[in-house]
Chain A
Amino acid sequence: MIEFRQVTKRYDSDHTALRQVNFGLDRGELAFLTGHSGAGKSTLLKLIMVMERPSAGELIVGGQVLNRLPRRQIPYIRRHIGVVFQNHQLLFDRTVFDNVAMPLEVMGASPRDTGRRVRAALDKVGLLSKEKMNPMQLSGGEQQRVGIARAVVNKPPVLLADEPTGNLDPALSADIMNLFGQFSQVGVTVLIATHDIALINEMGRRTLTLDHGRLIAGGQPSSGGVSGH
């Protein structure tokens, strides 16, 4: 589903965020991405979302080579990638329902379809009763779950999460990880960037570790696909 082949990302100066990163993630696989602050976790996620382009190497998501993707095509790729942020990026000028409905709105889904899918996603994260509230009225954990509902509402094959449990207590974190686990079971490829080592150990899943832009652990793909030189 996601494949990095010798991907290097250099920012204009001599700052290199990623150096020849090689790994592959299969459909339905859940993996953690970890490393010290500034190791390149966010850069790696941004590359998958085409917020940044690799300086060298090849990056394939869902069979699409992202390196040469024309700018106009970027929105269509992003519709297949759900993202959960640490600061959840909710809009406080609209209800929970409207927040979750945004990915469907940009796709031009019909109102009936939208209603059905948004409620299904909110039900999944246990917030169906709060659809008419403003996200500001919700607790941190609830806001994060609204963010997750928004990320999965259009059933993307890829789900990325950047420190999704950063501001939450351990019980809530476990709850949210549990949700991610469920998504991977129905075939969603999930990649979670975090430095919550305790949580990673508890889950016992594949872990990709970055150090100064190099992938130092977890790089071996579970079922081939990487053709590193």
Chain B
Amino acid sequence: MATDPRRKPEAARGAAASRSPWRQQAESYLNHHRKVARDSAERLWRNPVASFMTWAVMGVALALPVALLLLLTSLEGMSAGWESSARLTAYLQLELPEERARELREEIASDGRVAGVELVNRDQALAEFRTSSGLEEALDYLDDNPLPHTLLITPEQGARSEAGVEGLVNFIQAMNGVQRVQVDLGWLQRLNAMTDLLARAVWALSLLLAAAVVLVIGNTVRLSIESRRDEILVAKLVGGTDAFVRRPFLYTGAWFGLGGGVVAFILLQLSLWWLSGPIERLAELYRSEFTLNGLNVDGALALIIVAMLLGWLGAWVAVKRHLDDIEPGEIAGG
């Protein structure tokens, strides 16, 4: 079919192509990707309502586990803050003279695991208790000061682990004149156990919702495959590879993911803004430093990338299931 005038430019192009055929190949490959990506995005724009509904479903499904993860990291941050300020309280024997208490303080302070020791004199303790507890009158009935001397011990940074604190407790407990050592880590351990449990629950929920996202996208892409059946048939007829036929749908899935990720991010920011006032007030009431942290740039990017990957995966599932069913055999008729 080629006539002579058409042969000439072809020969010229052939020479250019032989100079760097791989480069030209790569270029047209990238070009095609760009074209398909743009085309599938435009298709989504052309059906804004349907696309938005899919994005919203994805956004809600993604926002929920991410919100819980954020809550979890905030809780973990809070308990880590408290752990670092954990102090041991050593109650000395009631009849122990003050000089002995001072000796004990020196002895404990010289230990490598201890950052500082504060001695609370029993009289001083009583006075403090009197003002802060509101039990002034009741205390007046007592003949003696019921409070012992107390040592407040702050462990060294390196000894603040659970095992380190336990070792320190045993060491002090064994000293002469020490009645009882108390570490108020019990509630912290309970909090940690709870956050551990919550973490597992969040991960399980995340997995379930991720699976839901994959299925939703898979179903949406399946419908899109059905509506483009003719195109797929023709592409297969003229020699389109499976990868070529798959590509627009995979991009569609990724774009659904992108939209879903953005919706999830917006939902998260909105709910954070909505909750920030009450959380501050609550934290204030508990005299806690607790703040609910939002997503930073990295987190937002990670969220969107994960969403795109899930979309892509959903599209892949649909494409695997349905694209092979469309074979051009039926076109040619009987």
Contacts and interface: CB of A to CB of B under 8 A. Distances in A.
A28 to B, nearest CB: 12
B240 A106 contact: yes
B277 interface: no
A202 interface: no
Interface stretch (A57-65, A136-144, A180-188, A211-219): A180-188
B186 interface: no
Contacts of B333: 42, 86, 162
A101 to B, nearest CB: 10
B1 A42 contact: no
B32 to A, nearest CB: 6
Interface string A23-44: 0000000000000011000100
Interface residues of A, number: 43
Contacts of B32: 105, 108
A12 interface: no
A75 B332 CA distance: 17
A77 B241 CA distance: 11
B233 interface: yes
Interface residues of B, number: 32
Interface string A79-90: 110010110010
A71 to B, nearest CB: 9
Contacts of B29: 108
B180 to A, nearest CB: 77
Interface string B21-35: 000110111011000
A79 B244 CA distance: 13
A75 B32 CA distance: 17
Contacts of B244: 75, 106
Interface in B132-167: none
Contact of B238 (A111, A150, A182): A150
Given A89-B331, A106-B239, A152-B1, A120 B231 contact: no
A109 interface: yes
Contacts of A106: 235, 238-241, 244
Given A89-B233, A91-B230, A110-B24, A79 B2 contact: no
Contacts of B118: none
Interface string B17-55: 000000011011101100000000000000000000000
Q: Is the interface of B mostly helix, strand, loop or mixed?
A: helix
Contact of A186 (B2, B230, B241): B2
B28 A120 contact: no
Q: Which of A46, A79, A105 counts the most B-chain CB atoms under 10 A from its CB?
A: A105
Contact of B329 (A37, A52, A111, A124): A52
Given A75-B239, A186-B1, A102 B234 contact: yes
Nearest to A80: B239
A108 B25 contact: yes
Contact of A155 (B1, B13, B332): B1
A83 to B, nearest CB: 6
B102 interface: no
A105 B6 CA distance: 20
Contacts of A75: 236, 239-242, 244
Contacts of B237: 49, 78, 83, 89
B235 A102 contact: yes
Interface string B209-240: 00000000000000000000011011111111
Interface in A115-144: 116, 120-121, 124
Given A75-B240, A85-B332, 15 more contacts: A72-B242, A76-B239, A78-B237, A91-B230, A103-B239, A106-B238, A106-B241, A108-B32, A109-B28, A110-B31, A116-B9, A120-B2, A124-B1, A183-B1, A186-B2
27 contacts: A37-B334, A42-B333, A42-B334, A45-B332, A46-B332, A51-B329, A75-B241, A78-B237, A79-B238, A79-B239, A85-B331, A89-B230, A91-B230, A103-B238, A106-B235, A106-B240, A106-B244, A108-B25, A108-B32, A110-B28, A116-B6, A116-B9, A120-B6, A150-B238, A152-B1, A155-B2, A183-B1
